Structure 1
């Protein structure tokens, strides 16, 4: 696969932008994901999983980001992006880069399908089937598949069927020999029908559903002659329009979700060889006049290849299973989370340490007779949520329980409405937060009666209360019994539930209240230290860096002499290493077995990093306008020495010295894979094999955690 030489920040003749284009930077990130499909260090099925993920990522990109730009273009909006592009210019650039990415996805599938066949997992064609295979397939289709399918003729009395977002369908031109009349047929493949059929026998052989149906059209259209055939896939605009003056937010979202299913067609993908007449029929029937049209010579719907990964039980072709550790410190307190937190602050590093400790914290709160109240934010909780179960149990046990359920969590809106209904039925006070802002902060607060007074225990997280993503996302969970944290957390919940402005925050920084101001101030402090000749440095880890105000502040710090190390997994609009602008800024991206998701910010504070004097924060926020201005987010300082050392000296240093999963961003926008050299270091392997500092407990004190040094990774 050939990576593009650079991310084009602006057209060549303009060439003065101080930022990379956001959309092209995202495409560059998805290319890094795709490159992992070619990484021979990964098992074959994991490589296929990366290919599938790159496909689902691209689908979402088209249905959200491209859909927004397309709408601006159609409405004649000439709003320029931060790098100076109009919507039309961005769509042109996106189209070129996306087409190249899609071509490389297809090339990757060709390569991987061949390697998988050699390893005993074959995707075969209908032409390769034996007589016995064909006989079995005909019976299977007739009994298991055809009852689910509904061929639909297209004529004045049979309008073109609705095809949902990500819908896949076959289209045929047929003729009835009895009267010579032509008929067009559309055959939707419902989501309940798998894209691949496993053929009988010990060998793992799969046949794509379109191949299977194409080989037995006589079952679908007996007596008809085939003139032409094709396949297509639909991507729709999936963004929701939220009305600020909605009288009933839940009812509004239920209506908006229904409307989203029928959103404008943004992209229409055809299989190569689909007759022009059938393509025209589909475009007209789907009202896709303004849609982006693409023709595929390979497999349509790369994201569906993940079904092969899930169905194949081949341990040798997948990552070795990993079982997260449960923190020893909590075990030493007999599983009493409150006793362990009361003794000392603790950080849990997911997925290396189990998300079960967060669940245990809430389950203990639900059953503890001394707990009087629980307050909890829920952004994404998944379809099977032990967190929701614990909150329901707490309410049923007579606790005062408040849940802030965010209805605007994209693609989880419907699930969150269901959770909200269940929580309300159990007696939980459900709050939906602000209409115009998303509540993205991850906070849990438990109030417990102890010794005639109340003590509050808090959990602050960088990730969602989601049991599935907690196994594959790297995130940090911070538990504390700090009185300052408790008072600030209470103000946060009062802000969301009662619109009470949080005055006099003691520990937390909160957006949209003061987080932008605080962040700028911390950067200013480093600038002042650099100008005074003191050590000055910033280390920051996040998913995306987009905000132009913060980027300009980082540019200012760089030119004042502040050494800046940024670990940005996804979008980065900042241009590093440009003399006179960003001389002292380095940017890297890490893409590997786990998805880097934690947000950590570190400011040297007059010391040489890493150092115990450094200001250190974990956060729910990326450095994007939406996080700083249009969401409820928090940044939490880590002050306990052990916790501080774990996050700064372990987590951040490991991220900086990783050289087996890292990419370096240069001034042109090109990402280059870092070479391990003589001292290979993989941060995911390191954390899978070493206990954390704050959660390790006395039982592990004799086992030294290897001390990391910045020069260790070479």
Structure 2
């Protein structure tokens, strides 16, 4: 069937982005069932799913609700109206939430109990545990609790996003003669949600109780002389997306500080409540938050399930965790007495985190801070972490009198407050801090060092696909390139000039940058591969990204598929492309790798281009390609190109942790064929790169 007979841009050839993201969340949930993983790692995946779903409601579903409420519905390339998308997602979220608690209650908690790790509900307390619980409640919990009786002088309180709360039904009158019959008890965030019992009560294992169990057992103590006839936990999830109008912002830092407070009290989008809560109390809460029955989630366990993530840190059970991993340092770096700058001047260095250590990047900055010949350091920061050796090195450089310029993206979602504090620390040390370009998030990951050598200035660059966050570098897969290539360094210098100064975009020789050249160059490279196929040449595209949603990129891939290009896509999360459709995408395969590490690297491979491989900070999404500052950088070394190509092949060979996208938008786990060798890409890379 020829491509002229089929409209490849038809809505039916695209998957809705929000529904695709929900499919990713479901793949994460399935990891909790993977018996190849140690038990506490399976438990961790359940907690990660819970955290992902919180953000899904706060951002995705909240955004759809806003569109509908303000009659600003946007129909994306898939053609689904937001109302229909919201309906589908609501149904999927209900099923997923029920499955989450089923996995917790029927599989993971019993399995933990077999390992002598018990989370005791109050009906399982021995007399000794009950005495301890009473003492703990009176001395550790009660002094910081502020129950709120509901009456005309005490209207329904404004409760913080995702906070644990209790609705209590009461009988009797208080000291003032009030008998409203209802109270709200917010659980202070300073209180731990999971408490380990003392050693003497943990004979033969580890015993824990939940704060909610302590509250239920002693709720009467908060209402002297009255009787609590019911106590039920609930949690409200709010719209947490920030609303900054770039055209009206004069000082982005000041505006952001104001928005951060409002995030805690945005419009309600979900009510989670104990499954035993009576209908009259549930309906009361729904009315207070202007929510419908469809936005109600009755749960069979803690409503703030994600706070149980601390269980892992409260146990000393290495036998229930992945074996410890020490990231390797390449032999050339480990055995050399030369500075990293000296080694980079001789040849490009490529690191693949977390299999290879992030430490050389930190060491590079430390060496630059103490090198009297280093004159200037420029860097972009998106996420760094609260305690950062990267930031310490920048502070040291600034205090040593070097010219330190840092472009901080204040709007890195959920890290905004931390980034505001970081900006203040750097400014106090003497660094120049800018916030990029209003209206365009600075998502590029770049470091530029200028050093005086033999009376000339020499530049050195680090470019990465991930953040300058040493914690993430142990959990996320990303590439780091260290280079002194003259053209690459010159291009990075020009990008920093654009970010910190003003003026027309300068011509860049080797890099692709968003929002200017990245999208059109990716389309050009895809089209060139299609043309090579039409000429009878072997043609192959491999793209590894976190998300693929941009319609022009997708239609270009469809056209390349029709031209005969073999296309392998490794897309961790959202993918709007439908593979395997005759006359549209029959030469395209899409897989998603879900494993011990979060797949985060962005790599673009084109068999017939020169160079063959580009790495990027950008995913193939509209926001990345058109509304962010991004860098896509070529791998110029033939040796390093070959290495990345081999590592991509590892992912394409995976038959243990890969999920294959079907034309209908569903994903199937790629099981090894009977008798075939099991191949897990992440473990293979761990073994290969253990130098």
Aligned to 1:62: 57
Distance 1:49 1:195 in 2: 16
1:416 aligned residue (415, 419, 425): 419
Distance 2:67 2:439 in 1: 21
1:18-29 map, 5 Å: 18-29=13-24
Aligned to 1:710: none
1:78-93 map, 5 Å: 78-93=73-88
**1:429 is the counterpart of 2:418:** no
1:171 aligned residue (155, 167, 170): 167
SS in 2 for 1:26: helix
Aligned to 1:658: 654
Contact 1:349 1:475 in 2 (8 A): yes
Distance 1:588 1:508 in 2: 28
Distance 2:372 2:251 in 1: 36
Distance 2:322 2:542 in 1: 31
Contact 1:173 1:182 in 2 (8 A): no
**1:353 is the counterpart of 2:356:** yes
Displacement, 1:86? 1.4
SS in 2 for 1:213: helix
2:150 aligned residue (147, 150, 154): 154
1:392 aligned residue (395, 405, 409): 395
Distance 1:39 1:672 in 2: 14
Displacement, 1:441? 0.5
What's the RMSD between the two structures over aligned residues? Answer: 1.7
Contact 1:177 1:225 in 2 (8 A): no
CA displacement 1:279-324 (0-9 Å, x = unmatched)? 2333344455798222223332332231212222211111111111
Structure 1 unaligned regions, length at least 5 = 1-14, 607-612, 697-714
Aligned to 1:317: 320
**1:132 is the counterpart of 2:99:** no
Aligned to 2:7: none
Aligned to 1:618: 615
Aligned to 2:522: 519
1:120 aligned residue (106, 116, 120): 116
Contact 1:162 1:286 in 2 (8 A): no
1:623-634 map, 5 Å: 623-634=620-631
**1:529 is the counterpart of 2:525:** no
Aligned to 1:683: 681
1:268-667 map, 5 Å: 268-286=271-289, 288=291, 292-334=295-337, 336-605=339-608, 615-649=612-646, 651-667=647-663
Contact 1:34 1:50 in 2 (8 A): yes
Displacement, 1:114? 0.7
1:189-338 map, 5 Å: 189-200=187-198, 201-202=201-202, 203-244=205-246, 245-286=248-289, 288=291, 292-334=295-337, 336-338=339-341
Aligned to 2:91: 96
Contact 1:530 1:562 in 2 (8 A): yes
Which is further off, 345-354 or 210-219?
A: 210-219
Contact 1:49 1:306 in 2 (8 A): yes
Which is further off, 259-268 or 15-24?
A: 15-24
Which is further off, 561-570 or 307-316?
A: 307-316
Distance 1:592 1:90 in 2: 28
Gap change, CA 1:177 and 1:540, over 3 Å in 2: same
Matched residue count: 672
Contact 1:537 1:562 in 2 (8 A): yes
Distance 2:656 2:293 in 1: 43
Gap change, CA 1:97 and 1:290, over 3 Å in 2: closer
Gap change, CA 1:691 and 1:657, over 3 Å in 2: same
Distance 1:152 1:445 in 2: 55
Which is further off, 253-262 or 552-561?
A: 253-262
Contact 1:230 1:278 in 2 (8 A): no
CA displacement 1:40-89 (0-9 Å, x = unmatched)? 00011100000000010000000001101001111122321221111111
SS in 1 for 2:152: coil
SS in 2 for 1:688: helix
Contact 2:612 2:641 in 1 (8 A): no
Distance 2:179 2:429 in 1: 61
Distance 2:180 2:346 in 1: 79
SS in 2 for 1:215: helix
Gap change, CA 1:16 and 1:444, over 3 Å in 2: closer
Contact 2:235 2:271 in 1 (8 A): yes
Contact 1:591 1:662 in 2 (8 A): yes
Distance 1:315 1:149 in 2: 36
Gap change, CA 1:291 and 1:416, over 3 Å in 2: farther
Aligned to 1:700: none
Displacement, 1:588? 0.5
Contact 2:532 2:538 in 1 (8 A): yes
SS in 1 for 2:266: coil
SS in 2 for 1:216: helix
Distance 1:633 1:346 in 2: 21
Displacement, 1:400? 0.5
Distance 1:312 1:662 in 2: 31
Distance 1:569 1:235 in 2: 26
Gap change, CA 1:182 and 1:431, over 3 Å in 2: closer
Distance 2:282 2:391 in 1: 47
Displacement, 1:535? 1.0
Gap change, CA 1:291 and 1:189, over 3 Å in 2: farther
SS in 2 for 1:444: strand
CA displacement 1:90-136 (0-9 Å, x = unmatched)? 11010111111111101110111111111111112101111111111
Q: TM-score, normalised by structure 1?
A: 0.92
Distance 1:49 1:500 in 2: 48
Distance 2:688 2:411 in 1: 38
Contact 1:160 1:286 in 2 (8 A): no
Aligned to 1:699: none
Distance 2:60 2:576 in 1: 16
CA displacement 1:515-536 (0-9 Å, x = unmatched)? 1111110011101100100111
